[in-house]
Amino acid sequence: MNIKNSSALNISDDLKKNWNIVQLKLKEIYGIDVYKSWIENVEAKGIEQNSLILRVKTRFVRDWIVSHYADKILDHFQKLDDTVSRIQFEISEIFVNDKISNIFDFNTKSKIIDIKDTNYGVNRIDPRLNFDNFVTGESNQLAFSAAKRICENLGHYNPLYIYGSVGLGKTHILNSIGNQLKQLQKKIIYLSAERFMYQFVKSIKNKDTYKFKDIFRNADVLILDDIQFISGKDVTQEEFFYTFNSLIENQSQVVISSDRSPNDLDRIQDRIKSRLSGGLVVDIQQPDISLRLEILKKRCLAEKDQFSKDLIISDEILTFIANEFKSSIRDMLGVLNRIIASSRIQNRNPSLQDAKLILKDLFSNMNAVVNIEDIQKIVVNFYDISITDFLSARRSRHIARPRQIAMYLSKKLTTKSLPEIGRKFTGRDHTTVIHAIKKIEDLMHNDKKFALEVQEISNRILKK
């Protein structure tokens, strides 16, 4: 599987761009933790005989990617470049001698253990997430109170197990606990279960699991986010179980989050499940409308403090967003951010109509309600050029620019792949489409008037 002499491979810009797109797609699918742990540092080295060559640091990473993400990677890559039919890995192995002692390090000042292995991203406690900016309501009150309670009295509930579906504030609460205890000079380890597993397997390979265990056993508080990822691998479960037991015996606090209750965890040994349920198990439920509204209001206030004082997002808009997004606070805040960002670009307070358009844009992105022919028609009308010229090989600016805008909007507003888009533009290559997207993005970035023009066309398409 190893490919030698990789320097001979030609790393084209297109490949880099395509790989970047695939990486971001995976981030979207699997979330930031997985992305940081497994995807971010993988480099695309070249394409050889229909194989995409990816460079990873170790065999372990390769195996993990092969067993978890390779299908998706290939799928998405093929959407951009259908000449590729396989993935091969090149291993750089420079980190094989990493010792666990280099990976974990007590930072004497903060008493927080940071994981220094920057190659796989760092699980830092996020200082922006605290109890003060967590809004409570019926759905999360229990989890919130329990979290505060253990900060006042370590071990009061041990372990504290918080579960709920994605985007409902688990990570926020876990970080709040970390931030609060940090002030009390406690030794805290905060990491996702996926990274716990990764570090552990690495320590087995380096034959220094004893150090790994010591580090965990010396903590006052162990915070493990997203424990559902720890399923599978017996040896890791075993280790987790021992670490867990010794922490509890030492009366160290353990806090765990998951997307499901202990009993619903797949492929986790029963005795671990019952251990996990041995303290307090609380769930976070779907937020009701008043909580959703309050969270939005609080976020608007925070934004105001940070940026422009005169930005106003009306209650009408906030109510509209709160009504549309019932199941994930993350998604709801994502929409608010988009509305705020676009108001900043346009330098005016958004109307309800603006907000609706942004949302419609989001939905149509997901559902592909727009087709490329419609986009082409509207662009052609907007610039008053003929569709024949538009689809011809002519390169004069007044034809080429609208064509690029149409390609850009096709990417933005439909789910078509780059090669598919290229084909709809009289068989142009996907690299031409990438070039067009890049060009339009640059222009929009540097020229506000142009950005508004594209926005206007996009609005016309979506209003159709």
Under rule CB under 5 A, how many of the chain's residues touch Mg ion? 2
Q: Which of 140, 179, 203, 364 lies at the binding interface for ligand ADP (CB under 6 A)?
A: 140
In the numeric block, the tokens 């011809």 are attached to 392
Q: 3-class DSSP state for residue 457?
A: helix
Quick check: helix, strand or coil at residue 43? strand
* Closest distance of CB 258 from ligand ADP, Å: 10
For residues 230 and 436, which CB has a smaller minimum distance to ligand ADP in the complex? 230
Q: Which does 135 bind (CB under 5 to 8 A by kind): ligand ADP, Mg ion, none?
A: ligand ADP
Site for Mg ion contains 171 (CB under 5 A)? yes
Query: Rounded to whole angstroms, how far apart are CA atoms 104 and 37?
Result: 16
CB nearer Mg ion, residue 171 or residue 199: 171
Task: Give the per-residue SS3 of 107-161.
Answer: CCCCCEEEECCHHHCCCCCCCCCCCCCCCCCCCCHHHHHHHHHHHHCCCCCCCEE
Residues touching ligand ADP: how many (CB under 6 A)? 17
Site for ligand ADP in 164-193 (CB under 6 A): 164, 166-172
Binding residues among 102-131 for ligand ADP as defined by CB under 6 A: 129
Burial class (CB in 10 A: 0-12, 13-18, 19+), 126: middle
Return the CA Rg of the chain.
Answer: 25
Rounded distance between C-alpha atoms, residue 48 and residue 370, angstroms: 36
The residue assigned the tokens 């709801």 is 332
Within 8 A by CB and 6+ apart from 275, the residues are 159, 241, 244, 245
Shortest Cβ distance from residue 362 to ligand ADP (Å)?
17
Strands 280-283 and 188-192: unpaired
- When the beta carbons of 69 and 134 are compared against ligand ADP, the nearer one is 134
Name the minimum Å distance from CB 29 to ligand ADP: 15
**333 contacts which partner out of Mg ion, ligand ADP, none, CB within 5 to 8 A by kind?**
ligand ADP
Q: Which residues sit opposite 283 in a β-bridge?
A: 163
From CA 79, how far away is CA 418, in angstroms rounded? 7
SS3 state at 423: helix
Instruction: Compute the least distance from the CB of residue 136 to ligand ADP, in Å.
Output: 6
Nearest residue by C-beta to ligand ADP?
169
Task: Give the type of residue at 65.
Answer: I
How far is the C-alpha of 152 from the C-alpha of 147, rounded, in Å?
A: 9
Q: Does 431 bind Mg ion (CB under 5 A)?
A: no
Residue in the structure block whose two tokens are 């010229």? 389
- Of 19 and 134, the one with the shorter C-beta distance to ligand ADP is 134
Binding-site string for ligand ADP from residue 325 to residue 364, where x marks contact by CB under 6 A and - marks none:
----xx--x-------------------------------
- Rank residues 297 and 356 by Cβ distance to ligand ADP and give the closer one: 297
422 binds, among Mg ion, ligand ADP, none (CB under 5 to 8 A by kind): none
Quick one: which segment of 62-70, 169-177, 261-269, 439-447 binds Mg ion (CB under 5 A)? 169-177
Q: Cα separation of 28 and 330, whole Å?
A: 13
Considering only the stretches 78-86, 116-124, 133-141, 272-280, report the one whose residues sit in contact with ligand ADP under the rule CB under 6 A. Answer: 133-141
Binder among 69, 89, 134, 240 for ligand ADP (CB under 6 A): 134
Select from 146-154, 155-163, 164-172, 437-445 the region that touches Mg ion (CB under 5 A): 164-172
Q: How far is the CB of 65 from ligand ADP (least distance, A)?
A: 23
Q: How many angstroms separate the CA atoms of 258 and 366, rounded?
A: 27
Binder of residue 364, out of ligand ADP, Mg ion, none (CB less than 5 to 8 A by kind): none
- Name the residues that contact ligand ADP, by CB under 6 A: 129, 133-135, 140, 164, 166-172, 295, 329-330, 333
